[in-house]
Amino acid sequence: MRAVIQRVRAASVRVEGRCVGSVDRGLLVYIGVEKGDDEADVAYVGSKCAGARVFPDAHGRMNLPLSDLSGPTDERRGILAVSQFTLHGDMRKGRRPSLAAAAEPRAAEGLYEALVRWWRNNGLLVETGVFGAHMDVAAINDGPVTLLVDSRRLF
């Protein structure tokens, strides 16, 4: 399982012109499920993203995870999770990406939903896109800070 984590000031996802998920401050996480992924991959990626110390502390250093953020009580601090099978696209040969490593949609959706549940069960606000839909994602990147997580530790 792969995730691209972006620290954001705001992010939202629209499907057919309707907003289906948004956060005011937090993480935009793109998630790609690979063939052979299982619950251990969910726990690894869930923990890495939830515990990522990418928010500034009182001294301005990236030292705080999402759960330690403070701010206005009406601010929606959380994760916007967006499925993205193209994270497993292989561009090493030719110009068209090979998506052979991506999990089949049914398996991928189940593990994507398991990851969302993992975060929610650990006390995080999680908004989502719509699995398999064409989505318009908007984000105000903060920093920018962008990190990669791979449960097989390929990078």
Does the annotation mark 6 as catalytic?
A: no
What's the pLDDT band for 45 if we cut at 50, 70, 90?
very high
pLDDT digits (tens, 9 = 90+) for 50-87: 999 999 999 999 999 999 988 787 789 999 999 999 99
How do beta strands 55-56 and 62-64 pair? Answer: antiparallel
Q: Which of 55, 85, 128, 131 is catalytic?
A: 85
pLDDT at position 72: 81
Q: Do residues 8 and 25 touch, judged by C-beta distance below 8 A?
A: yes
Architecture of domain 2-150 in this structure: 3-Layer(bba) Sandwich (3.50)
What's the pLDDT band for 154 if we cut at 50, 70, 90?
confident
Element (H, E) at 126: strand 126-128
Q: Which of 6, 55, 73, 86 is catalytic?
A: 86
- Region of 93 (left: φ > 0; alpha: ψ -120 to 50; beta: rest) is beta
Least Cα distance to 89 among 30, 145, 41, 5 occurs for: 30
Neighbours of 89 (CB within 10 A): 15
The secondary structure of 29-73 as a DSSP string is EEEE-BTT--HHHHHHHHHHHHH---EE-TTS-EEE-GGG----T
Does the annotation mark 146 as catalytic?
A: no
Q: Do residues 114 and 120 touch, judged by C-beta distance below 8 A?
A: no
**1 or 71, higher pLDDT:** 1
Q: Which of 6, 55, 84, 128 is catalytic?
A: 84
